[in-house]
Amino acid sequence: MKKKVIVVGGGFAGLQIVRRLNRKFYDVLLIDRVNHHQFQPLFYQVATSQIEPSSISFPLRNVFKGYEATQIRLGEVIEIKHYEDSVITNQGVFEYDYLIIATGCKTNFFNNNAISQHALTLKSTYDAITIRNQILTTFEETYNASRSDKKSLLNLVIVGAGPTGVELAGAFAEIKNMILPKDYPDIDFSEFTIYLIEAAQHALNGMSSFARKASAMYLSKIGVKVITGVFVKNYDGQTASLSDGTEIATRTLIWAAGVVGNKIPGMPEHLWVNNSRLLVNRYNQVQGFQNIFAVGDIALMKTPKFSDGHPQVANVAISQAKLLAVNLKRILTGKPMVCYEYRDIGTMATIGRGKAVVDLPFASFKGYFAWIVWLSLHLMFILSVRNKLIIFINWAWNYFSKNSALRLILKPPDR
């Protein structure tokens, strides 16, 4: 008799595990709050009008068409009843033999309610479209704004200088210098100021000193104001207040300063550790459970090489999911499971056209070649050949023409 497997979350980890489970042995149910897989590394390009949302969003029913033993439910898991081997969702109750939690992360506001109410985030395709709408609407409003209002409209604050923050800042600086002045010739874009604020002492603090220095140089060259060693204490939708007493008037603050796990009620509280990640063993089994697994960003696995858990990046999620598919088959055949060991393939970030930094285990490099490596690897991970081609054409067109026709404000009109 087939085993019932429930996978919660259609991100990198969830997608891999569902694709790799043998349909002869498993009936698979994939549950997600949205009906599409979202390619998170390129959200910032949607937010800055460089690619279409549909280029990086893949309907789950299309991804798994032809997978006869796979069902998909658009819904939310309300509670895990581990003592009954079932999950309660807003679509009903579903029983499982194996439960795989791959819910990923959401933005961490560090319990600052004021900031969470007014800041923009970048954790979904919808968030990316919202940022695009906000930025373009801001420039439209600038035409009729008073002098004091113009200042806050033309200040963009990005909080968090990890790869997401750096890539956002670089992309906005690029369209500020090359594209937006053509659309808004009456606006003085020398007044459009992009702030990148980081609580640590350096941008890209998790990368090598070589990458940190190179990114600082690139950001300075394209006009991004990088402020390090301070954090944003408050934001009320009008003014960002920093820990050193500085205040920046801004209508747009994008928060990219941390993540916390998408927690599901029902699991024992002591298993949620380190920003709501589930404690798992070397086989991705949730501690104390034989038939519940967690993979990707939501999982915290401590190993000799990674005593604080693995980095929350796509490669970890993908490789954990691949091994879990192997281990589930080994359970069925009575073979011992294989321990997970992460092989760090490196980190990278792009800071605009022809500028990137790459840290590999054996070398670090920057510049145009690093940018080509960044482009190639991201294209490789895009799901379909069609979307790879569309994104490549968009990138090539934008590179040579220094223009884009994707600057659409998509929101309902006032009624």
**b/e map of 18-39 (b: 16 or more CB within 10 Å)?**
beebeeeebbbbbbbeeebbbb
Question: 114: part of which helix (H) or strand (E)?
Answer: helix 113-118
Strand partners for 8: 31, 101
How is 333-385 classified by DSSP, letter by letter? Answer: TTPPPPPP------EEEE-STT-EEEEETTEEEESHHHHHHHHHHHHHHSS-H
By C-alpha distance, which of 400, 376, 401 is closest to 388? Answer: 376
Q: Is the pLDDT confidence value at 111 over 70? A: yes
**b/e map of 383-406 (b: 16 or more CB within 10 Å)?**
eeeebbebbeebbeebeeeeebeb
| Token output for 110 | 């560090």
Q: Is the pLDDT confidence value at 415 over 70? A: no
pLDDT at 25: 93
Asked which of 111-120, 176-185, 186-195, 239-248 is least confident by mean pLDDT, the reply is 176-185
Distances (CA, A) of 157 to 62, 80, 269: 37, 39, 36
Task: With beta carbons less than 8 A apart as the criterion, state whether 243 and 159 touch.
Answer: no
In a domain, 283, yes or no: yes
CATH of the domain at 226: 3.50.50.100
- Which band of pLDDT confidence, cut at 50, 70 and 90, is reported for residue 406? low
pLDDT tens digits, one per residue of 270-287: 999 999 999 999 999 999
- Region of residue 24 (phi > 0: left; psi between -120 and 50: alpha; otherwise: beta): alpha
Q: Is the pLDDT confidence value at 385 over 90? A: no
By C-alpha distance, which of 224, 213, 167 is closest to 352? Answer: 167
By C-alpha distance, which of 92, 79, 78, 102 is closest to 5? Answer: 102
- Which band of pLDDT confidence, cut at 50, 70 and 90, is reported for residue 161? very high
Whether 44 and 90 map to the same domain: the answer is: yes
pLDDT at 398: 79
In a domain, 369, yes or no: no
Whether 144 and 198 map to the same domain: the answer is: yes
In a domain, 370, yes or no: no
Whether 65 and 92 map to the same domain: the answer is: yes
State which amino acid sits at residue 224. V
Number of structural domains (the chain) is 2
Range of the domain at 85: 3-107+259-332
Can you tell me the distance from the alpha carbon of 240 to that of 238, in angstroms, rounded to the nearest whole number?
Answer: 7
Range 322-342 average pLDDT: 96
Whether 176 and 194 map to the same domain: the answer is: yes
Whether 219 and 242 map to the same domain: the answer is: yes
Whether 194 and 238 map to the same domain: the answer is: yes
pLDDT at 404: 65
The residue count of the chain comes to: 415
Asked which of 17-26, 155-164, 194-203, 405-414 is least confident by mean pLDDT, the reply is 405-414
Whether 18 and 34 map to the same domain: the answer is: yes
In a domain, 249, yes or no: yes
Q: Is the pLDDT confidence value at 297 over 90? A: yes
Whether 13 and 26 map to the same domain: the answer is: yes
Whether 89 and 76 map to the same domain: the answer is: yes
Task: With beta carbons less than 8 A apart as the criterion, state whether 56 and 387 touch.
Answer: yes
By C-alpha distance, which of 371, 379, 328 is closest to 349? Answer: 371
User: Which domain-ending residue is among 332, 362, 381?
Assistant: 332
In a domain, 305, yes or no: yes
User: Which domain-ending residue is among 332, 355, 374?
Assistant: 332
Question: 115: part of which helix (H) or strand (E)?
Answer: helix 113-118
Q: Is 393 helix (H, G, I), strand (E, B) or coil?
A: helix
Whether 96 and 125 map to the same domain: the answer is: no
Whether 205 and 235 map to the same domain: the answer is: yes
Distance of CA 4 to the CA centre of its chain: 30
Distances (CA, A) of 121 to 172, 258, 361: 15, 11, 31
User: Which domain-ending residue is among 332, 365, 385?
Assistant: 332
Neighbour count for residue 233 (Cβ, 10 Å): 14
Can you tell me the distance from the alpha carbon of 343 to that of 157, in angstroms, rounded to the nearest whole number?
Answer: 35
CATH of the domain at 74: 3.50.50.60
Whether 16 and 93 map to the same domain: the answer is: yes
Can you tell me the distance from the alpha carbon of 276 to that of 256, in angstroms, rounded to the nearest whole number?
Answer: 18
Can you tell me the distance from the alpha carbon of 337 to that of 291, in angstroms, rounded to the nearest whole number?
Answer: 13
Can you tell me the distance from the alpha carbon of 33 to that of 35, in angstroms, rounded to the nearest whole number?
Answer: 7
Q: What are phi and psi of 90, to 5 degrees?
A: -75, 0
In a domain, 179, yes or no: yes
In a domain, 364, yes or no: no
Can you tell me the distance from the alpha carbon of 399 to that of 381, in angstroms, rounded to the nearest whole number?
Answer: 21
In a domain, 340, yes or no: no
- Percent of the chain scoring above 70 in pLDDT: 98
- Which band of pLDDT confidence, cut at 50, 70 and 90, is reported for residue 200? very high
